[in-house]
Amino acid sequence: MVPQGSRAELEFGGPLGAAALLLLLPATMFHLLLVARSGPARLLGPPPYLPELEELWSPWALLLCLTWLGLQAALYLLPARKVAEGQELKDKSRLSYPINGNPIYDFFLGRELNPRICSFDFKYFCELRPGLIGWVLINLALLMQEAELRGSPSLAMWLVNGFQLLYVGDALWHEEAVLTTMDIIHDGFGFMLAFGDLAWVPFTYSLQAQFLLYHPEPLGLPLASVICLINGQSGRGSALPPPFIRSLFIQHPLAVGYYIFRGANSQKNTFRKNPSDPRVADLETISTATGRRLLVSGWWGMVRHPNYLGDLIMALAWSLPCGVSHLLPYFYLLYFTALLVHREARDEQQCLQKYGLAWHAYCRRVPYRIVPYIY
């Protein structure tokens, strides 16, 4: 939530940074999509060609987008659903907004923390459903296109689809956990989240599958097995063909990336919901002046953001099936590292404001931020 009282400290480089990101994010996404389908697939070179305006506009594509959003909105509004309580706002009931008066900055970050019409929460709706499920559908369409082109999808394509399906399935399965994320608690609903959730996620997160469609990558079983071990799969008995992939997924239920990611997120969510839950009751904690305690053992005693570490290891596993001949499939890993380093710094700043001395004590006790003994 934004600090109250005097001027709130501006994030993302203030209005200038926000203006640059407003242009840079759509341009980068556009560039990546053009480059992924070009022969050389050069991440840093100029785009191979610029499509004509008519190529970019299609009433059918617009209709498809609107239908997709409409379908997701209808599902979101279905009465048969669980209703979860969000985090208590800092001022207990009132929402507060800083008057910094810069239209570019406000447009980028969003002035409204919880924009709603009746029970339809725009930010919460956009966070998971249209973009994340859209990402999986785009991946699936690319897999089917590859099957059409080459007779059957490649092992690399199966892996990328399987890993990312696991990630999205996990996010939807743990949907309630979104309520304790920075996006929901702290960030307004502006360009950053709207563009990020609806355009950036489905189109740039599917970059590996797009790359594989135009640049097939032979991948042997031993290497595929190692990559599965890095990503981590818990899909016991999942129905993903072909059978050897299924066996890989089942053989490594405790593999690295997903294991750390899910373990850390679940541990904190369980602790925040009910600190006396037997699964977290034995963990060591320190108290803070707010009455909330901080975990200092378990995953959160290893580094201050173990969930980011797991996420980054999975990001590496998503790129590896694309081989090492191009930098492009590693764009997600590079971008995500920068995003999480920046996000971690923002969260530290907010936790310092919330917990003061207790946060300093936590930092002394757990000195590393994301990667043990390195960062």
Binding site for ligand NDP (CB under 6 A): 181-182, 261, 265, 268, 271-272, 292, 294-295, 300, 305, 307-308, 311, 343, 347, 350-351
Q: How far is the CB of 90 from ligand NDP (least distance, A)?
A: 10
Residue nearest to ligand NDP (CB): 181
C-beta closer to ligand NDP: residue 100 or 337: 337
Q: How far is the CB of 300 from ligand NDP (least distance, A)?
A: 4
Q: How far is the CB of 339 from ligand NDP (least distance, A)?
A: 6
Q: How far is the CB of 101 from ligand NDP (least distance, A)?
A: 27
Q: How far is the CB of 162 from ligand NDP (least distance, A)?
A: 17
Q: How far is the CB of 279 from ligand NDP (least distance, A)?
A: 14
C-beta closer to ligand NDP: residue 69 or 296: 296
C-beta closer to ligand NDP: residue 215 or 305: 305
Confirm if 327 and 281 have CB atoms less than 8 A apart. Answer: no
C-beta closer to ligand NDP: residue 115 or 263: 263
Provide the 10 A C-beta neighbour count for residue 41. 21
Which pair of structure tokens corresponds to residue 41? Answer: 């697939």
C-beta closer to ligand NDP: residue 158 or 355: 355
C-beta closer to ligand NDP: residue 145 or 337: 337
